[in-house]
């Protein structure tokens, strides 16, 4: 992808969507947390993690039945029938291979280690009741996006306290 591309904040229905996370480390755990912060129970979203090992947080999500953990290295065929791929393996070549395969198949992909390879970003999420905001800094400053997310969460709290939603 080009360095100077634009982003449009688009809110998609997650109903029946299929996600593949490649890798089971900190990035996967954070992005799963962001995803689960907005997912409704029983909406049919399918989440698969492919990694020989995962952090305890990811394993706990599997134990709760929220995702499927495939305990092995990523295979090219893992992207079949998938809507979104998050390539967050420790091995850069695995992530790059996943991006290449996804691009060939028209699957949206996020390469956790290389913003130029991202079709989408995971935003800082602010959610209160029915209000949801996603904030990014165009992949350039995650700390700034996180800080803005905190500010919006605080604002949402004030708005919902003041009004009967």
CATH code of the domain covering residue 62: 3.40.50.720
Are residues 130 and 112 part of one domain? no
Residue 12, in any domain of the structure: no
Are residues 103 and 44 part of one domain? yes
CB 137 within 8 A of CB 147: no
Greater model confidence, 164 or 29: 29
**Model pLDDT for residues 5-59, shown as the tens digit of each residue:** 677 778 888 888 999 999 999 999 999 998 888 886 667 889 999 999 999 999 9
Residue 24, in any domain of the structure: yes
**pTM of this structure:** 0.86
pLDDT at position 156: 82
How many of the other CB atoms lie within 10 Å of CB of 73? Answer: 13
DSSP string, 88-119: --S-HHHHHHHHHHHHHHT-EEEETT-GGG-S
Number of domains in the chain: 2
pLDDT at position 17: 92
Greater model confidence, 75 or 149: 75
Are residues 107 and 56 part of one domain? yes
Greater model confidence, 137 or 162: 137
Are residues 132 and 100 part of one domain? no
Mean pLDDT of the chain: 87
Are residues 82 and 154 part of one domain? no
Helix, coil or strand: residue 31 = helix
Q: How many helices (H) and strands (E) does the chain have?
A: 4, 7
**Interval 131-154 mean pLDDT:** 79
């Amino acid at each position: 992808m080009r360095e100077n591309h634009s982003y449009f904040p688009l809110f998609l229905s997650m109903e029946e969507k299929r996600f593949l996370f490649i890798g089971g480390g900190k990035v996967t755990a954070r992005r799963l947390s962001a995803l689960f912060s907005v997912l409704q129970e029983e909406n049919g979203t399918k989440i698969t993690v492919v990694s020989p090992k995962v952090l305890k947080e990811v394993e706990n999500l599997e134990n709760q039945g929220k995702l499927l953990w495939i305990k092995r290295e990523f295979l090219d065929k893992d992207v079949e029938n998938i809507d979104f791929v998050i390539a967050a393996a420790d091995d850069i070549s695995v992530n790059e291979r996943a991006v290449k395969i996804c691009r060939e198949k028209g699957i949206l992909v996020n390469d956790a280690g290389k913003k130029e390879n991202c079709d989408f970003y995971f935003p800082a999420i602010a959610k209160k009741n029915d209000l949801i905001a996603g904030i990014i800094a165009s992949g350039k400053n995650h700390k700034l996006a996180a800080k803005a997310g905190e500010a919006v969460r605080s604002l949402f709290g004030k708005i919902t306290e003041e009004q009967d939603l």
